[in-house]
Amino acid sequence: EIVLTQSPGTLSLSLGERATLSCRASQSVSGRYLAWYQQRPGQAPRLLIYDASSRATGIPDRFSGSGSGTDFTLTISRLEPEDLAVYYCQQYGSSPLTFGGGTKVET
């Protein structure tokens, strides 16, 4: 099983600042099959990034993903109020599919 470790657990920033979230895998993620999801309070998760760096439909370009192998990053270039949420990474290249523990972005 691939274990995903996200850091930091909580990221405290000001609006307009750049947010950098990390997701480290215990072994190489097959085919760059790494996704990022946003979960706002009381809502279902929403797909932001798939295949490590491709933005899902309707996702603003301030969100970007990068990385390969075991190290992946989600960057929010300028934090907006609606970006305050918990972000999860997920690998979907090998079974069992696994999620990271999440990073909470707050002000």
Binding residues for other proteins (CB under 8 A): 1, 33, 35, 37, 39, 44-47, 50-51, 54, 56, 86, 88, 90, 92, 95-102
Q: Give the count of beta carbons closer than 10 Å to the beta carbon of residue 77.
A: 14
Q: How far is the CB of 11 from other proteins (least distance, A)?
A: 16
Buried b (16+ CB within 10 A) or exposed e, 81-105: eebbbbbbbbbbeeeeebbbebbeb
Nearer to other proteins, 16 or 61 (CB): 61
Q: How far is the CB of 39 from other proteins (least distance, A)?
A: 8
Nearer to other proteins, 4 or 76 (CB): 4
Residue type, 65: G
* In the complex, least distance from residue 17 CB atom to other proteins, rounded to whole angstroms: 24
**Percentage helix, strand, coil, to 5, in the chain?**
5, 50, 45
